[in-house]
Structure 1
Amino acid sequence: MGRNPSVVSAAEAVAAIDSGASIYLGSSDSVPRLLVEALCARGRKRVLRDVTLRHIHTGRTEDYAAPEFEGVFRSESFFIGENMRRQIQRGAADYIPISLHDTPRLIRDGVVGCDVAMIQVSPPGRHGRVSLGISVDVAPAAIETAKLVIAVMNRNMPYTYGDGEIDLDRIDYLVEDDSPLEETHFALPNEIERAIGRNCAELVEDGSCLQLGIGAIPNAVLSQLSDRKDLGIHTEMFADGLLPLVEAGVVNGSRKRIDRGKIVASFLMGSRRVYDFVDRNPMVRMREAAYTNDPFRIARNPKVVAINSAIQIDLTGQVCADSLGMRMYSGVGGQLDFIYGASRSEGGRPIIAMPSRTTKGVSKIVPVLDPGAGVVTPRSRVHFVATEYGIVDLYGKPLQQRARLLISIAHPECREELERAAFERFGRHFLYWK
């Protein structure tokens, strides 16, 4: 590797990739689309075979998983985005079950290969380094181990401080592209999501340190916190909903024990407003997933409130968050990392938050999980569960009491059926349990 990367076209850069290569592809809203397009163009010439692309979610990029590339590219996701669900469910792509904090180790230890890293970076900062900007996650591990590093340099990529700062001599080929970054715009919370947000917000005290996932419920929680003081952020990701609390001084990180005064995250999904906020912002530290999602590091901050979602919860508290029965839907991700980390935190409160029913009216609290459903958080690790009908604490509760508590926050139209199932499971004594 030379001291300076070669500035080339995307086609010239991907021409260095051979058949059988394992490629790490930058994730979320930071996918280097110009490189993906060039790689697909090369794949259409049938000069490549058996190339594996590994990544977390890749937004709206899915060309490489199209039927025309069968035998050319194979996609293996560490976490399944919407663009890959159909391909994985039909077997044209695959999923690697792994907690997010363990994913960099998979790469560093060579459990999964990484011959090529394809990433997107900012222009150099004042010290001559570039930054991974809005998506650090597992990329540092890929860059460290790859034989070939290809980077798209984009002036629209913010420069963020932390683990995503890279020396230029770590890059082999540099491709210039100033296309706008992808943006993610979340829908405003509906009435049910606002009710869930209010229930979760009841557990957020002054000085809490928050982890918030993706979607409307986290934004609904944040909207309820304007009267809190000295909140901290240690999370996988954040989006636009956090910014009003930062601007109002509600989020300042002053009571954190590690990374005091800093907002710590691994990737971002939001609008240009978020990207402008993090650009050269000394308050923000973008760290790789091995740092942000380490349960023992999470636990070092007091009052960690971790809010994660579920597809189903059974009456004993088992949480499915990765599949619809046998059909993979998302992945393990960081849920158990933060549920466990928050449970070890002094005054920590791990929360599973979800609507009581699906949009089709099917209860998400069920007698038993669907056949093939994955248990992402085991019943032994579950603490608080919230729906629009309230919030209950299952920690340390016996099975029959758990069932009664969960039924109390199920949709009213589903409670009779759940009580009948609990009676069949536990016997007549369940009728007398209060």
Structure 2
Amino acid sequence: MIHFDSIAKRMAPEGILDFIKEGDDLILPLANGEPVVLLDALEQNVDLLKGVRIHQMHALKQRPYINGEFGDRLRHVSYFLSGATREAYRAGKIELVPSHFRQMPRILRETTKTSLILATASPMDEHGYFSLGTNADYVAAFIGKVPFFLEVNPNMPRTFGGNQVHISQVLGYTEVDRPLVEVLPAPINDKDRKIASYIMDHIPNGATLQVGIGGVPNAVLDALKNHRNIGIHTELLTDGIVDLINKGVITGVEKKTNPGKVIATFALGTRYLYDFMDENSSIELLPVDYVNDPRTIGQEENMISINATTEIDFYGQCASETVAGKYYSSSGGQADFAQGVLFSQNGKGFICLYSTAKDDTISRIRPLLTPGSVVTTLKNEVDYVVTEYGIAHLRGKSLSQRTKELIRIAHPKFREELTFKAKKLGFLV
């Protein structure tokens, strides 16, 4: 079936300019949801814009507008830094808005005009629906409430869940044919496998997992090959999850919410993942204010959350968005799941880190966080902390108990020094 609206609304990328007014706030999805060609059109016609701001987490591509080359005509507002925005932020060219991932739809509703959503989508189906493909994230929360302009790409997989946009909800769309960005799985080293081995003792059959990206999450997924009936409720889907579905490890039959379904809010991996997601009804991508809501997460039993930090202090404060006291990313969803597992019956949260940095010259376990560091996960919400030297359980422990636990899993060369400083600062007597 060919919808008349689809013919009338198909246009060149420059058609987007007809729908943008002075002072508009444009909202873009993260990662592969980024509409590259539409952004090209905005930059190429920037003289026609005035006071326009683009709001986005994790931009994919460095651009002149991100580097502030167009002044107030077109500016970028970031909610999570990436390689494309990190230096621009440090140079004062863009703004950074602190937020938990789950809060993004509400923050955008309350602090912007929510003028227009620009997003990449799969081609329209016979019923008149586009799919946001690898994404639901925060933009899916605006479907039917805020107008969309789409960049339709046949390389975007058609996925299901809460990310379907009908032609009647679209002001216009342009057609492109470009490959999606692919991120290869992080290699797994011996430290990753050691850290994963400590976590594996706490993952029962039938557990529901949230895992991020990186060597440790990949090592955990690799070690789950003999588990049964694992469920997935996570913000991010990666290649490793596909392998476990194919092996019958991930079934989700014991999940309390969305049983039998793999639930996420966006996906980032290789073509292997994207092809697997295409037309796969067992995977549902849902808005982040549902997926990452601690009240949703807490409904699962045996909810397991696995995330990483860059350093932790004796209080249990985790600085996961700064490196050496300088901003590197932002909060993302780490705190969402750290809070959520505390509501889950038998839920457990794991914060992982290598014990040292810079060739074993710096301990990542510190008496106090590096000056300039930003706390991502609060001391009251940290459950388990894992390094290659062991696992420490902090929930319900006193400060002196936490200090002893953390020193125990620190690199051996720093334990004496950490103990000395702990006594000097009053953490140990």
**Cα deviation, residue 176, structure 1:** 0.3
Q: Tell me the residue number matched to 1:153.
A: 152
Q: Tell me the residue number matched to 1:93.
A: 94
Q: Tell me the residue number matched to 2:177.
A: 178
Are 1:24 and 1:142, in contact at CA under 8 Å, matched by a contact in 2? no
TM-score norm. by structure 1 comes to: 0.94
Q: Tell me the residue number matched to 1:73.
A: 74
Are 1:30 and 1:182, in contact at CA under 8 Å, matched by a contact in 2? no
Question: Which shows bigger deviation, 112-121 or 304-313?
Answer: 112-121
Matches within 5 A, 1:27-426: 27-43=30-46, 46-108=47-109, 110-146=110-146, 148-324=147-323, 327-361=326-360, 362-426=362-426
Distance 1:162 1:57, change over 3 A: same
Amino acid at match of 1:75: H
Q: Deviations over 1:284-339 (max 9, x none)?
A: 01001011001011111110000111121101101111223653211111111101
Aligned mates of 2:403, 2:416 — CA distance in 1:
12
Are 1:33 and 1:61, in contact at CA under 8 Å, matched by a contact in 2? no
Aligned-pair RMSD on alpha carbons? 1.7
Are 2:67 and 2:94, in contact at CA under 8 Å, matched by a contact in 1? no
**Cα deviation, residue 422, structure 1:** 0.4
- How many pairs were matched up? 424
Aligned mates of 1:168, 1:83 — CA distance in 2:
32
**Cα deviation, residue 61, structure 1:** 4.2
Aligned mates of 2:108, 2:18 — CA distance in 1:
24
Question: Which shows bigger deviation, 246-255 or 22-31?
Answer: 22-31
**Cα deviation, residue 180, structure 1:** 1.2
**What secondary structure, in the 3-state scheme, does the structure 1 residue paired with 2:72 have?**
coil
Q: Tell me the residue number matched to 1:24.
A: 27
Q: Deviations over 1:357-385 (max 9, x none)?
A: 12453211111112232211111111100
Aligned mates of 1:90, 1:318 — CA distance in 2:
28
Aligned mates of 1:118, 1:143 — CA distance in 2:
12
Distance 1:250 1:118, change over 3 A: same
Distance 1:112 1:343, change over 3 A: same
Are 1:363 and 1:414, in contact at CA under 8 Å, matched by a contact in 2? yes
Are 2:32 and 2:135, in contact at CA under 8 Å, matched by a contact in 1? yes
Q: Deviations over 1:140-163 (max 9, x none)?
A: 2344443x4210111111111111
Distance 1:62 1:326, change over 3 A: farther
Aligned mates of 2:68, 2:86 — CA distance in 1:
14
Question: Which ranges in structure 1 are unaligned for 5 or more consecutive residues?
Answer: none
Aligned mates of 1:59, 1:221 — CA distance in 2:
27
Q: Tell me the residue number matched to 1:11.
A: 14
Amino acid at match of 1:16: F
Distance 1:426 1:117, change over 3 A: same
Question: Which shows bigger deviation, 274-283 or 118-127?
Answer: 118-127
Q: Deviations over 1:377-415 (max 9, x none)?
A: 111111100011111100111101100100111111221
**What secondary structure, in the 3-state scheme, does the structure 1 residue paired with 2:77 have?**
strand
**Cα deviation, residue 15, structure 1:** 4.7
Amino acid at match of 2:351: I
Amino acid at match of 2:334: Q
**Cα deviation, residue 221, structure 1:** 0.9
Amino acid at match of 2:117: A
Aligned mates of 1:72, 1:194 — CA distance in 2:
49
Are 2:310 and 2:323, in contact at CA under 8 Å, matched by a contact in 1? yes
Aligned mates of 2:51, 2:410 — CA distance in 1:
48
Aligned mates of 1:402, 1:394 — CA distance in 2:
6
**Cα deviation, residue 200, structure 1:** 1.9
**What secondary structure, in the 3-state scheme, does the structure 1 residue paired with 2:48 have?**
coil
Are 1:30 and 1:181, in contact at CA under 8 Å, matched by a contact in 2? no
Q: Deviations over 1:16-45 (max 9, x none)?
A: 3233221111211221101111111112xx
Aligned mates of 2:281, 2:44 — CA distance in 1:
40
Aligned mates of 1:49, 1:325 — CA distance in 2:
38
Aligned mates of 1:251, 1:359 — CA distance in 2:
37
Question: Which shows bigger deviation, 209-218 or 195-204?
Answer: 195-204
Amino acid at match of 2:92: G
**What secondary structure, in the 3-state scheme, does the structure 2 residue paired with 1:196 have?**
helix
Give the share of equivalent positions with the same residue, in percent. Answer: 32
Distance 1:178 1:388, change over 3 A: same
Q: Deviations over 1:105-155 (max 9, x none)?
A: 1233x3222212110111123432110010110112344443x42101111
Are 1:14 and 1:35, in contact at CA under 8 Å, matched by a contact in 2? no
Distance 1:185 1:299, change over 3 A: same
Aligned mates of 1:15, 1:328 — CA distance in 2:
37
Aligned mates of 2:358, 2:262 — CA distance in 1:
34
**Cα deviation, residue 9, structure 1:** 0.7
Amino acid at match of 1:125: D
Amino acid at match of 1:314: D
Distance 1:145 1:400, change over 3 A: same
Are 1:317 and 1:402, in contact at CA under 8 Å, matched by a contact in 2? yes
Aligned mates of 1:347, 1:96 — CA distance in 2:
34
